[in-house]
């Protein structure tokens, strides 16, 4: 076995490989870009080597820099993870030349499966079933059209060099063929620098079922059953599970045998995945082979009890496969979901920024969380926006689905929009419970899975208000304690006011709507008016954001994350997100017509940003007030002119005091 390996990757897969290596007593070397200097995989590894700036092509894709790092640290082998250099035959070859073991298949096997067309020709010869289609070298448009006719519409045009669903077009009728072909070729050329295409019969209701294979250097090759990855968005996997629901044992055995034949045909070694389309009638067709470990490999580990990275390491070190085919069996059911920083409400736009708060369910025999980030880390534009994979296991599928719902309910991410709600909607859907799986699952159930953003319910709004109030009270106490005047009225959290007014209003923005929560400070809590109803809210807010709340006597525990104006509340497995609207900015808009901007609560002027006569634009900051130990900026409600400035920095102002005389419109 190796004594030290280098992981040529980042994120969750790097962390995952390090964990197995550590368990086997193998030392680990991380490589990292400048952006990842503090990343979890770097922290976890025994040694770390910087390999360049943030963009992947200047760091994680620089094979030469990675090999230098391996030489420098004396690593005997390189684990490529997935993505980046994992299917780069040139890199695998360079490793060999440098005397460093590439933990993956021989370069020739990577090349054999590199192009879809070439791979198909090889598979055809090995007797592996293919989707009826055309994958010849002749790319004459007339010939392609004739082939499409022979196959019969609908036909799928695919980039030979494709991946990630790019360069793929469904052609439903002959008169669209020329246009769609041109589109696929354009996309293929720009994405892969290769515009060759192949044609396939387009199956209207297929499932994506893939077989995990493993081969060693001693002539052994086994399959570790299948994964159903039918739940996809734009041909990208979202949910994966093993075993595939309702797969006939006979079909499983035939698919397994076909996958092993595929691996043997190309002299495979290590972990690989043979992807098939499974048609409604039980026929299956080879799609492609991924010559690496897959993102979704954990579901296979959960149902077989095997550690596939350990298998990879043993095989790469020259050992035999740990088990023979007859020793492998399926135990229970596992499901994985991919948690992404992306916004389902905005067409799944990837999100970047800081993970202000991150919490996952506790790991155990039923739940596994693979992640490469912690609270406070950033999701950057440079890499894949995956935050984590949640994997659950149980005796049978219905129990595993329940575990999945529970695990998602305990997953909390604040700071960035994520697909967590979308994943929960899938997990909670009837179609998923009943395993109505095929590759158009999401498309078909879209209305249910992507409802229009619903308003935050009264309970969520009440908790947000309570959280903000408790946080303010805690700050006031801290400040008073450190100001040397613990008896200052500011230290009171019961809404005491200079003008003895115990009323207040919190205004939140919820999507496009503003929602006010009028409130009264009481000895025993806060009387909130939410959704037309009065309720008494009280509770305690822990320093970690734990909010033990009581709403009209009902106790519940939530988690509160406050970051600037952003308020996120996690309760009962759901996140509610609102923005606290600057109270004074709200007030001035309402009073714009009256020609004066007033202070709705007592405070102290801490900045005056304009002079009388100034022409200002709508939204421009005019005065900053400190009230309740929070800063409030008073902004121009419209384009206009400042006519009067009544106070100077340091002045105390009363509730309702006119701060600025303002005239809207052209001067």
DSSP, res 130? B
Q: Give the nearer residue to ligand ADP in terms of CB position, either 100 or 168.
A: 168
What is the DSSP code string of 513-567? Answer: EEEEEEEEEETTEEEEEETTEEEEEEEEE-TTSEEEEEETTEEEEEEEEEETTEE
Q: Is 229 helix (H, G, I), strand (E, B) or coil?
A: strand
CB of 168 to ligand ADP, least distance (A): 6
Query: Candidates 43-51, 62-70, 157-165, 457-465 — which segment interacts with ligand ADP by CB under 6 A?
Result: 157-165
Structure tokens, 369:
């969380």
Structure tokens, 526:
């806060």
Query: Does residue 203 belong to the site contacting ligand ADP (CB under 6 A)?
Result: yes
CB of 188 to ligand ADP, least distance (A): 10
Of positions 30, 156, 379, 580, contacts ligand ADP by CB under 6 A? 156
Please choose, from the candidates 517, 516, 519, the residue with its C-alpha nearest in 3D space to the C-alpha of residue 527.
Answer: 519
CB of 432 to ligand ADP, least distance (A): 17
b/e burial code for range 486-509 (CB count within 10 A of at least 16 → b): eeeebbebebebeeeeeebebbbb
Site string for ligand ADP, 276-315 (x = CB under 6 A): -x---------xx---------------------------
Query: Does residue 210 belong to the site contacting ligand ADP (CB under 6 A)?
Result: no
Query: Does residue 83 belong to the site contacting ligand ADP (CB under 6 A)?
Result: no
CB of 159 to ligand ADP, least distance (A): 7
Structure tokens, 324:
């023979």
Query: Does residue 180 belong to the site contacting ligand ADP (CB under 6 A)?
Result: no
Of positions 52, 81, 114, 162, contacts ligand ADP by CB under 6 A? 162
The footprint of ligand ADP on residues 237-266 (CB under 6 A) is none
Of positions 87, 147, 200, 394, contacts ligand ADP by CB under 6 A? 200
Order of all β-strands in the sheet with 133-134: 133-134, 197-201, 155-159, 169-171
CB of 154 to ligand ADP, least distance (A): 8
Query: Does residue 232 belong to the site contacting ligand ADP (CB under 6 A)?
Result: yes
Q: Which residue in the block uniquely carries the two structure tokens 């073991």?
A: 101
Cis peptide preceding 143, ω within 30 of 0: no
Q: Give the nearer residue to ligand ADP in terms of CB position, either 17 or 337.
A: 337
Q: Catalytic residues, which ones?
A: 292
Query: Does residue 165 belong to the site contacting ligand ADP (CB under 6 A)?
Result: yes
Dihedral angle at the C-alpha atoms of 356, 361, 363, 369, nearest 10 degrees? -60
CB of 182 to ligand ADP, least distance (A): 19
Q: Is 508 helix (H, G, I), strand (E, B) or coil?
A: strand
Q: Give the nearer residue to ligand ADP in terms of CB position, either 2 or 202.
A: 202
Of positions 9, 439, 568, 641, contacts ligand ADP by CB under 6 A? 439
Query: Candidates 104-112, 199-207, 523-531, 577-585 — which segment interacts with ligand ADP by CB under 6 A?
Result: 199-207
For residues 444 and 233, is the Cβ–Cβ distance under 8 A? Answer: no
Please choose, from the candidates 628, 625, 635, the residue with its C-alpha nearest in 3D space to the C-alpha of residue 506.
Answer: 628
Q: Which residues sit at the interface with ligand ADP, rule CB under 6 A?
A: 131, 156, 158, 162-166, 200-203, 206, 208, 232, 235, 275, 277, 287-288, 439
């Amino acid at each position: 076995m190796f004594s030290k390996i280098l992981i040529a990757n980042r994120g969750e897969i790097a962390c995952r490989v390090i964990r197995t290596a550590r368990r086997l007593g193998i030392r680990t070397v991380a490589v990292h870009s400048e952006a990842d200097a503090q990343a979890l995989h770097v922290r976890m590894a025994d040694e770390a080597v910087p390999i360049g700036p943030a963009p992947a092509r200047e760091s994680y894709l620089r094979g030469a820099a990675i090999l230098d790092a391996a030489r420098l640290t004396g690593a005997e082998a390189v684990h490529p993870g997935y993505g980046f250099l994992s299917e780069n035959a040139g890199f695998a070859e360079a490793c060999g030349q440098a005397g460093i073991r590439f933990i993956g298949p021989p370069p020739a096997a990577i090349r054999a499966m590199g192009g879809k067309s070439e791979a198909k020709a090889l598979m055809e010869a090995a007797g592996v079933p293919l989707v009826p289609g055309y994958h010849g070298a002749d790319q004459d448009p007339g010939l392609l059209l004739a082939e499409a006719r022979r196959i019969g519409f609908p036909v799928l045009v695919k980039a030979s060099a494709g991946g990630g669903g790019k360069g793929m077009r469904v052609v439903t009728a002959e008169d669209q063929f020329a246009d769609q072909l041109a589109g696929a070729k354009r996309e293929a050329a720009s994405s892969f620098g290769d515009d060759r295409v192949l044609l396939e019969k387009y199956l209207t209701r297929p499932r994506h079922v893939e077989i995990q294979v493993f081969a060693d250097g001693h002539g052994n090759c086994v399959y570790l059953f299948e994964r159903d990855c039918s739940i996809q968005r734009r041909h990208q996997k979202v949910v994966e599970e093993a075993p595939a629901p309702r797969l006939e044992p006979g079909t499983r055995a035939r698919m397994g045998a076909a996958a092993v034949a595929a691996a043997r045909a190309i002299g495979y070694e290590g972990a690989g995945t043979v992807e098939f389309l499974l048609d409604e009638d039980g026929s299956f067709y080879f799609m492609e082979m991924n010559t690496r470990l897959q993102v979704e490999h954990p579901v296979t580990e959960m149902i077989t009890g095997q550690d596939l990275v350990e298998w990879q390491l043993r095989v790469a070190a020259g050992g035999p496969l740990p088990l023979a085919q007859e020793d492998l069996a399926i135990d229970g059911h596992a499901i994985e979901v991919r948690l992404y920083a992306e916004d389902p409400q905005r067409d799944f736009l990837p999100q970047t920024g800081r993970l202000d708060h991150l919490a996952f369910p506790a790991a155990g025999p039923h739940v596994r969380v693979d992640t490469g980030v912690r609270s406070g880390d950033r999701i950057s534009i440079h890499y894949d926006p995956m935050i984590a994979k949640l994997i659950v296991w149980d005796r049978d599928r219905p129990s595993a689905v329940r575990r999945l719902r529970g695990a998602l309910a305990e997953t909390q991410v604040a700071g960035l929009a994520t697909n967590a709600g979308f994943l929960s909607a899938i997990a909670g859907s009837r179609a998923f419970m009943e395993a109505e799986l095929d590759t158009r699952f999401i498309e078909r159930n879209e209305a249910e899975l992507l409802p229009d953003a619903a308003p935050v319910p009264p309970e969520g709004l009440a908790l947000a208000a309570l959280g903000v109030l408790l946080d303010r009270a805690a700050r006031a106490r801290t400040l008073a304690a450190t100001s040397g005047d613990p008896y200052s009225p500011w230290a009171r959290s019961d809404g005491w006011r200079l003008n003895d007014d115990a009323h207040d209003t919190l205004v939140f923005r919820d999507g496009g709507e503003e929602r006010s929560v009028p409130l009264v400070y009481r000895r025993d809590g806060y009387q909130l008016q939410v959704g037309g109803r009065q309720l008494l809210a009280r509770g305690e807010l822990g320093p970690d954001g734990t909010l033990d709340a009581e709403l009209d006597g009902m106790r519940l525990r939530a988690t509160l994350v406050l970051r600037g104006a952003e308020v996120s509340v996690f309760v009962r497995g759901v996140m509610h997100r609102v923005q606290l609207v600057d109270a004074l900015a709200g007030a001035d808009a309402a009073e714009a017509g009256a020609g004066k901007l007033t202070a709705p609560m007592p405070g102290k002027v801490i900045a005056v940003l304009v002079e009388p006569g100034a022409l200002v634009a709508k939204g421009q900051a005019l005065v900053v007030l400190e009230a309740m130990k929070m800063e409030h900026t008073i902004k121009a409600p419209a384009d206009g002119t400042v006519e009067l400035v009544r106070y100077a920095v340091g002045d105390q102002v009363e509730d309702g005091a006119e701060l600025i005389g303002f005239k809207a419109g052209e001067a």
